[in-house]
Amino acid sequence: MPDHFLFTPGHEAYRARVREFARTELAPRSSEWDRAAVLPREALRLLGDHGLLGIVAPRSRGGEERDYVSLGIAIEEIAAADVSCAQIAWIQNTIGHFFPGWGEDTLRAVQRGEAAIALATSEEDAGSDVSAMKTTATLDGDEYVIDGSKIHVSLTPGASVLAVSCRMPAPDGRRAIGMLRVPADAPGVTIAPMEQMGARAHSLGAVRLDRVRVPCTATLGAQNEGKALMYARYNVSRCLSPLAALGAAGDVLRRTMDFARGKVVFGRPIAMNQSVSFPLVEHQAKVEAGRLLCYRALWMNDQGLDASTEAAMAKWFGIGAGIDAVKDCLPLWGANGYLKEFPIEQKLRDVLSLNFTGGTLNIMRVLLVRQLLGADFAGLRA
């Protein structure tokens, strides 16, 4: 289907290149990585070898220096083959890009797929409500001492350096949220895996920080800039997670349409029943609508425009549309859809993981209420 009004010939060529790579190199390994449920070094290396971990990074630092629309194209195509790899790719591309201070050596290693970085923000009582964060960084001479616990951290175990958000002293004397670079093997850091139902190869972990010492120079961005950096990243990452859901859904819809044309029951293809064909075309239309919202918001980011409202809409609509499509396709395969041997059940588990990352769909609704109706109606803290 032509999207020329939206994409340049360069974008189309890039999509074709990433699609070919993802179909031949990632898709055949997807179920094996799902079963192993650990961050696959092989996937990192493959993504790194194809320039997919430094898509928006400057060429002078070993990146591809492409626009955010290209980043979205890559995530959509990777997710069609493997949702975990899409999560790995968007996390590496965005936290490397939006949080200044990782150090050139670390970023180059990340871009080559030789190392991984992770973002540790969520806590038991501070998931949606970041302001409730309890982890602290206290100044002691020229070091910070970090105490606290993080959960649901993607790419852990496996990442070698973590961006840990914590309450820390701000220049105005209050405690603001800042972000510190913490090596995963620093004394006092303990990491435990958290078993997940889907996207199992992107790995999820709990991180305990007991009097962890890092130098004052380990801040990512300015001392009190943690929230601002996270929000800047959200404007892009909230377009990438729905594109992952929609990429996976697009693949499932394509396979299910092929299947429904060929599967004969009661002497005719099941696609001849409108109760089968109508949902397929309706979901395809919703997938296309979701893609448009995502690419519009990414394009706005490319133009330097504030896309916070558009990104929240893209995420709320796109993830819902992606999950619904995969969920409704599964039973059309009959009992086979439910079997491990067929790829649909993994895709359903995988896309469900996208419900939460970077803020739940309810939180997207709350943000939209705040932006469209006014802060008084959103029920958030002042």
Is 64 within 8 Å of 55 (Cβ atoms)? Answer: yes
* Identity of the residue, 223 or 357, whose beta carbon is nearer to ligand FAD in the bound complex: 357
Q: Residue 94 interacts with ligand FAD (CB under 6 A)?
A: no
* Contact with ligand FAD (CB under 6 A) among 101, 127, 279, 320: 127
Residue 379 makes contact with ligand FAD by CB under 6 A = yes
Report the nearest approach of ligand FAD to the CB of residue 364 (Å). 9
Q: Does 230 bind ligand FAD (CB under 6 A)?
A: no
Could you say whether residue 160 binds ligand FAD (CB under 6 A)? Answer: no
Which residues have C-beta within 8 Å of that of residue 264, sequence separation ≥ 6? 270
275: number of Cβ within 10 Å: 8
Q: Is 199 in the site for ligand FAD (CB under 6 A)?
A: yes
Could you say which of 93, 94, 111, 121 contacts ligand FAD (CB under 6 A)? Answer: 121
Would you count residue 357 as binding ligand FAD (CB under 6 A)? Answer: yes
Using rule CB under 6 A, residue 322 touches ligand FAD: no
- Long-range contacts for 338-341 (Cβ within 8 Å, ≥24 apart)? 340/31
344 binds ligand FAD (CB under 6 A): no
User: In 3D, which of 218, 23, 263, 207 has the Cα closest to residue 101?
Assistant: 218
Q: Which stretch binds ligand FAD (CB under 6 A): 120-128, 226-234, 240-248, 279-287?
A: 120-128
Cis before 157 (ω within 30): yes
Among 46, 120, 212, 325, binds ligand FAD (CB under 6 A): 120
Q: CB-wise, 120 or 312, nearer to ligand FAD?
A: 120
Task: Please report the sign of the dihedral spanned by the C-alpha atoms of residue 206, residue 112, residue 92, residue 60.
Answer: positive
C-alpha 271/C-alpha 257 separation (Å) is: 8
Does residue 376 touch ligand FAD according to CB under 6 A? no
Distance spanning both ends of the chain, measured CA to CA: 46
User: Would you count residue 346 as binding ligand FAD (CB under 6 A)?
Assistant: no
Question: Which letter does DSSP use for residue 81 in this model?
Answer: H
Tokens read off for 287: 């997938």
Three-class secondary structure of residue 157 per DSSP: coil
Nearest-approach distance from CB 304 to ligand FAD, in angstroms: 26
CB 74 within 8 Å of CB 14: yes
Q: Which of 122, 135, 223, 256 binds ligand FAD (CB under 6 A)?
A: 122
The span from the CA of 312 to the CA of 273, in Å, is 36
Structure tokens at 300: 């706005």
* Minimum distance from residue 127 beta carbon to ligand FAD (Å): 2
User: How near is the Cβ of 86 to ligand FAD at its closest, in Å?
Assistant: 12
Q: Which is nearer to ligand FAD, 272 or 380 (CB)?
A: 380
Selected binder of ligand FAD within 160, 273, 277, 360 (CB under 6 A): 360
Specify the pairing of strand 117-120 against strand 161-169. Answer: parallel
Give the number of other Cβ atoms within 10 Å of residue 162's Cβ.
28
In the bound state with ligand FAD, the residue whose beta carbon lies nearer, of 47 and 204, is: 204
60-68, 75-83, 228-236, 358-366 -> range binding ligand FAD (CB under 6 A): 358-366
Least Å from the CB of residue 68 to ligand FAD = 20
Sign of CA pseudo-dihedral 14, 20, 23, 26: negative
Cα separation, 209 vs 231, in Å, equals: 24
The CA-CA-CA angle for residues 327, 20, 53, to 5°, reads: 85
- Using the rule CB under 6 A, give the single segment among 77-85, 221-229, 238-246, 362-370 that binds ligand FAD: 362-370
Q: Which of 356, 368, 369, 371 binds ligand FAD (CB under 6 A)?
A: 356
Are 301 and 235 contacting, i.e. CB atoms less than 8 angstroms apart? yes
Closest distance of CB 155 from ligand FAD, Å: 7
Q: Which residues bind ligand FAD (CB under 6 A)?
A: 119-122, 127-128, 152-154, 199, 204, 353, 356-357, 359-360, 362-363, 366, 379
